[in-house]
Chain A
Amino acid sequence: MTYETTVIAMLKILHERLRQGHRTASYPSEAPVLPERFRGAPRIVPERCREGCGDCLDACPFGAIEGTAGGPRLDLGRCIFCGACAAACPHGVLEFSRDHRLAARRREDLLAGAEGHRLAYALDGEMRRLFGRSLKLRQVSAGGCNACEADLNVLNTLVFDLARFGIQFVASPRHADGLMVTGPVTENMRFALLESYAALPAPKLVIASGACAIAGGPFRGSPECHDGIGDLLPVDLYIPGCPPHPYTALDGLLRLLGRL
């Protein structure tokens, strides 16, 4: 390449760069605006519930809804946010909002009722001191369909710019502070997943990202899957969704680190 062509190529890049402009979102100072039809945190109004009606329970393909005295409770861990329950309810008891904030620290915190559910709280003490400003994660897909993986990769794009929060995906578990698992854990990936966890230096975190990793997702009950990582690893953060929206994942991570 001659000097001139190099300069022209560079000018073209700069021109396109100027034209397309700066696109990193102002999150978290500004709340993200998600599409009108996005299904996020459920809103449950039990007063509208009619006794003896189990339409929402029957509509859920994955048994994520439990009928209680205080109205339906939705397990955000099992939920794939298909919206079948909301569509089936003739009384408007249950609907999905555009609120992307879903992540929780404990499995039981994912049960959403009239009062919503308990959002993730921050790590405490030494763990927060160690990871609060710098968190390196190793991602392991254990039967994930590549939607969870793709929407985690998105966090590295300039829109989200994950690195500005001090969070990074790293190439080896030995370099990582935590394991971010996607997929229902296929039997064929169980060993590799446990080996990856063992390779992480302590203290270490485990994050279950997506309906599959939390409770098996669409493959709950498959004889070749483990219904998520719950029985295999100690989980520090659950990120619901099928797949979780990138903002849902980012929100969960920042809450874990006490940054939101």
Chain B
Amino acid sequence: MSPLRAAVPLTNGGAIPLADLPLLGRGHFTGALLAEVAEGARVAAYFAAPAGRVLELYAILARDAHSDLAVLRTEIGSDYPSLASRCPELQLFEREIAEQYGSIPTAHPWFKPVRFHRSWNGRDAWGRGAERPQPAVQEFYRVEGEEIHEVAVGPVHAGVIEPGHFRFQCHGELVMHLEIALGYQHRDVERLLLGGPHPATPHQLETVAGDTSIGHATAWSHVSEALGGGSVPPRGEALRLVALELERLANHVGDIGALAGDVGFLPTAAFCGRLRGDYLNATAVLCGSRFGRGLVRPGGVAAELSDEQAATLRERLATVARDTRGALELFFDTPSVLARLEGTGHVAVEDAAAVGLVGVAARACGLVRDARKHHPLGGYRTAGIEPAVKWGGDVFARAAVRQREIDDSLALVDRTLAALPPGPVRAENGSPRPKSLAVALVEGWRGEVVHAALTDAAGRFSRYKIVDPSFRNWTGLALALRGEQISDFPLCNKSFNLSYCGFDL
């Protein structure tokens, strides 16, 4: 088998028996992975799972140009050669595997813990003692020099936000380097899912990142349907699409408001704060919860929406849409606002590609990455999504991507609600296939949400891997701060608006 053919193809939302997935030799695995990446594939997920006394390493590659995925599998022991220097987007995944299973990627260029928890099998990759690791207790990168000073922020921040620790190396106001240490929100989600699905599973997945409840519930539902062989009725698919786009709208509108607040442009800040709530309330019309809890379930959606209710919702959204466009126009038409956004927090397209940014942050650097287009599932197969791509790589570009997506999502939701297919909203899902791998990529509002499940002989989860877009994108924020003024950190941070708990799991 040539390295190029070693990867087993899989479409998004599909499942394959583990028996069909060859266990490659290490060299073969590495060669195939690097060849795929050189051909343009991205690493969507990279994780280990225990198999007897050894670990099996899975690479799930997204081949956007071919609209398919490719899977590679090999075996690793207590150490294996790191690929992070040759494929930087693997660096955090390798550290994650090391933290979970104590398997050391040798010659890793930045070998530090990710979430600061005990390893899952008692083997500590950093040789730490029996005591529990403390968050952010690690060697931070330091710039040395007489005029260099260090600024430490967090875990508790000034606003009503989640905790994380930021360490800046500064020369005066200038940030030379930012290192971000997370893990404070670690709730052990992946291990709680083992042996599942349990009764608590849907609720835990909806709170992996509470602002992406729909995104994660949708990814989990696709995985469940792939394993159970169930299909979703067209009306269920349409309502899932509406829910996911409403989640995008609420968060994008909220983000523009937050950016406006940070540059001191209060009209848009005030308008968008309110409008974000209007989108959340629209989601609550669907299911009673502003965050869409309980709405998306395997087989479809858990709540019916009548044609009359859809028409009412559409009318209501038309008003909200007009107010949203008004609020955004003010923001993007005001030179003093633009002056603060343009050129701030720049990330180069090569860096974005190398570290594997996804979602808004990637598209703002010129990368055409949108799972709704390249790997569409459900209602997105026919939605004709054109990714919103900007080239600037700065705060302005990240705001402008959101503006375009707000417009597109408003049109898409309106179109979908106007022509909801008739029929039921949910179908039965079968019992999960044993000894299989199922993968789903969903374009959440921040970016690609990846769920991958391995099942045991009884069809229960023997490993459930979650890759929230924030796992990929925090590195982007660190890069954006290089050469910036430290006073622009809040603005840069809001332009990414990443999840702490989505990263910490």
Contact = CB atoms under 8 A, between A and B. Distances in A.
A191 B184 CA distance: 10
Interface string A106-143: 00000000000000000000000000000000011111
Interface string A80-109: 111100000000000000000000000000
Contacts of B289: 38-39, 81
B209 A151 contact: no
B205 to A, nearest CB: 9
Contact of B277 (A62, A83, A154, A173): A154
Contacts of B336: 1
B159 interface: yes
Given A157-B274, A187-B132, A218 B159 contact: no
B207 A218 contact: yes
A188 B158 contact: no
Interface string B388-429: 000000000000000000000000000000000000000000
A143 B155 CA distance: 12
Contacts of A140: 156, 163
A258 B199 CA distance: 39
Given A186-B184, A186-B187, A192 B499 contact: no
Contacts of B183: 188
Contacts of A80: 203, 293
Contact of A141 (B162, B186, B285, B287): B162
A83 B334 CA distance: 46
B335 A1 contact: yes
A153 B184 CA distance: 20
A125 B161 CA distance: 33
Contact of A38 (B134, B187, B207, B288): B288
A81 B284 CA distance: 13
A192 B155 contact: yes
Nearest to A152: B160
B188 A223 contact: yes
B270 interface: yes
B160 A153 contact: yes
Nearest to A241: B289
Interface in A11-58: 12-13, 16-17, 19-20, 23, 34-39
B284 A35 contact: yes
A142 B334 CA distance: 38
Contact of B156 (A1, A157, A186, A196): A196
B501 A218 contact: no
Given A37-B303, A38-B288, A145 B208 contact: yes
B271 interface: yes
Given A144-B162, A149-B161, A159-B277, A224 B187 contact: yes
Given A157-B273, A188-B117, A189-B185, A146 B210 contact: yes
A146 B274 contact: no
A158 interface: yes
A95 to B, nearest CB: 12
**Most chain A CB within a 10 A radius of its CB, from B160, B192, B285:** B160
B503 to A, nearest CB: 11
Contacts of B162: 141, 144, 146, 149
Contacts of B329: 12, 16
B257 to A, nearest CB: 9
B285 A147 contact: no
Contacts of A17: 267
**Most chain A CB within a 10 A radius of its CB, from B132, B188, B288:** B288
A245 interface: yes
Contact of A147 (B158, B213, B273, B274): B213
A20 B323 contact: yes
Contact of A61 (B200, B254, B284): B200
A145 B189 CA distance: 12
B247 to A, nearest CB: 12
A33 to B, nearest CB: 11
B500 interface: yes
A74 B210 CA distance: 24
A106 to B, nearest CB: 26
Given A154-B277, A243-B291, A16 B501 contact: no
Contact of A171 (B155, B159, B270, B330): B159
B484 interface: no
Contact of A158 (B117, B156, B274, B294): B274
A150 interface: yes
B9 interface: no
Interface of A: 1, 5, 9, 12-13, 16-17, 19-20, 23, 34-39, 61-62, 80-83, 139-154, 156-159, 169, 171-173, 183-184, 186-189, 191-192, 196, 217-219, 222-225, 242-243, 245
3 A-B pairs closest in CB distance: A147-B210, A145-B210, A37-B288
Given A9-B334, A143-B501, A145-B207, 19 more contacts: A9-B335, A19-B326, A62-B200, A141-B160, A141-B161, A143-B185, A143-B187, A145-B210, A146-B209, A146-B211, A158-B274, A159-B273, A159-B277, A169-B159, A169-B160, A186-B504, A218-B200, A222-B187, A225-B187
